[in-house]
Amino acid sequence: MNREYPLLPMIGVGVVVWKGHHVLMIRRGKPPRLGEWSLPGGLQEVGETVAAAGAREVMEETGVSIGPAVLVDVVDAIYPDETGRIRGHYTLIDLTARWLAGEPVAGDDAMAAEWKTLAEVEALDLWPETRRIILRAKGLIEAVG
């Protein structure tokens, strides 16, 4: 399926990964948001559960393995062009999970992969939805212990 001017929305899965009080962040190596800091994630594959897609994408982009994931939220990312035609449409399913093993190394679609404190995350120029998802994930991960 074409990512530009698609016939249907694409399903993306992102994961807020926690190692203590640090969040795993990647610098995007491909559009959309090329070069920006974001959460590890990518498109769900046919026959793959959301949880499996999240774990796979985290591993492919960072080399980190995660524990069981919890749903944080679903975000619509719709990008019209200057004429109003939909150039891109993603349904983003965001999860949160704890780190199990591995140290971040940029791979696959990531230019960089690093653990960041919440203060460091706050200082980044993030898409507002990414910031909101991280803060919501913090509350959820603390609630599940």
pLDDT for residue 31: 76
pTM above 0.85, yes or no: yes
> How is 42-75 classified by DSSP, letter by letter?
EEPPTT--HHHHHHHHHHHHHS-EE---EEEEEE
Q: What is the reported pLDDT for 50?
A: 98
Residue linked to tokens 């949160």: 96
Residue 139's pLDDT is what? Answer: 93
Look at strands 41-43 and 110-117 and give their pairing: unpaired
> How many degrees, rounded to 5, is the angle at CA 102 between CA 98 and CA 123?
65
The residues facing 114 across adjacent strands are: 25
List of domains in the chain: 10-143 (3.90.79.10)
pLDDT of the residue at 109: 81
Phi, psi of 99 (to 5 degrees): -65, 140
| Parts of the chain with a pLDDT under 50 | none
Q: What is the pLDDT of residue 145?
A: 67
State residue 76's pLDDT score.
96
Please give the pLDDT value at position 30. 83
Structure-token match 């990312």, residue found: 77
Give the pLDDT confidence score for residue 123 in this predicted structure: 95
